[in-house]
Amino acid sequence: MKKKVLVAMSGGVDSSVAAAILKEEGYEVYGATMQIWQTETEDELIREKSCCSLTAVDDARRVAHILDIPYYVFNMKDDFKKEVINYFVDEYIKGRTPNPCIMCNRKIKFELFLKKAMVLGMDYIATGHYAIIEYDKSLCRYLLKRSKAREKDQTYVLYNMTQEMLSKTLFPLGRFSKDEVRKLAEKFKLPVARKPDSQEICFIPDNDYGSFIEKETGIKDEGIYVDTEGNILGKSKAYYNYTIGQRKGLGISTGKRMYVVDIKPEENKVVLGEEDKIFSDGLIAYDLNFIPFDKLESELEVTAKIRYTAKEAKARIIPAQNNKVLVKFYEKQRAITPGQSVVFYSGDIVVGGGIIEKAL
């Protein structure tokens, strides 16, 4: 009997090719798009840019028709609002910089979507992520490994996957490059073969985080810039418009290159300092997930990424109190940002990761 797989189809080339590959491999394939937009106005705003917009639904439905597979649209507006948008706003209000894509993967795609798939009688779910899942018999555990195409590897946003999630997920694109995926789309005669990738956060199409937060909270305020000694430098926008390490868009002249080195939400202050102030050699992380093992029991040598676009750096991870981890880098890192995730690797294997609580 064929194994059933429900493919999360965003209307883009990656998820479309994932569905086509799985059908060619002999799976009984179904497609589904997660409806996450919140209002009719947002329907129009994100029509062209979002991974889950109306255009995305149209494109996914066309691909499903060409592949001759059943297709669903799941209404996940309330779940997305609760788990992703509210989290995003709350983190900025706390003076932190969230990663909504990681939270969406964790709460929506690999929790709620997986649950819906199991209710429908599926054996697996699949997505168009560039990553590899393998079962290690010696460890009796599933491992998450980097994509063969390093430049497209997306394991950073997948570190939260549990053994249950990994055991029921397929990543068909892990062995391909982006160019190869587009060629496969042409081979399968898919209309999205040359569709550009979505770049922006799906619920903020104009990339204006501050205005979005003000709209969601009703808060609209000004703040002040201070230096590392607490001296007032001038007026700023509200603190939630800034992130650690930011230099551009500050709108203030001090005669020096200044960077955001700290954010004090309780005082609505943005602390500026010179470049040397944004480097740190360590951090504390919490809300941890490990993949080759359940818990970090002793110090471990790894490489670590402190943001999606960051280069990996050699580090030691050390168990700390209250189920946290101390990360000590061999070389200082630029702009370690509370709220972002730190992800640990051992070669191509994802060891795990957590949320950055503070830089040290």
User: For 285, left (φ over 0), alpha (ψ -120 to 50), or beta?
Assistant: beta
65-103: burial string, b at 16+ Cβ within 10 Å, e else = ebbebebbebebbebbeebbbebbbebbbebbbbbbbbb
* Among candidate residues 179, 125, 165, 202, the one with its CA nearest the CA of residue 14: 179
Q: Which residues are within 8 A (CB) of 193 and not within 5 positions of it... i.e. 6 or more apart?
A: 13, 182, 185, 186
> Which pairing describes strands 269-273 and 222-227: parallel, antiparallel, or unpaired?
parallel
Give the C-alpha separation, 159 to 172, whole Å. Answer: 18
Is residue 104 annotated as part of the catalytic site, yes or no? yes
Can you spell out the DSSP letters for 276-341?
GGGEEEEEEEEEEEESSSSS--S-EEEEEESSTTSPPEEEEEEEETTTEEEEEEEEEEE---TTSE
Residue 332 near residue 359, CB atoms below 8 Å: no
Active-site option among 51, 52, 101, 202? 202
Collapsing DSSP to helix, strand or coil, 81 comes out as: helix
> What separation in angstroms does the CA of 328 have from each of 298, 331, 332?
14, 9, 9
Can you spell out the DSSP letters for 142-204?
EEEEE-SSGGG--GGGGTT--HHHHHTEE-GGGG--HHHHHHHHHHTT-TTTTPPPP-S-TT-
* Among candidate residues 134, 138, 110, 135, the one with its CA nearest the CA of residue 124: 110
Q: Which residues are within 8 A (CB) of 230 and not within 5 positions of it... i.e. 6 or more apart?
A: none
Active-site option among 51, 52, 104, 140? 104
Catalytic positions, written as ranges: 104, 202
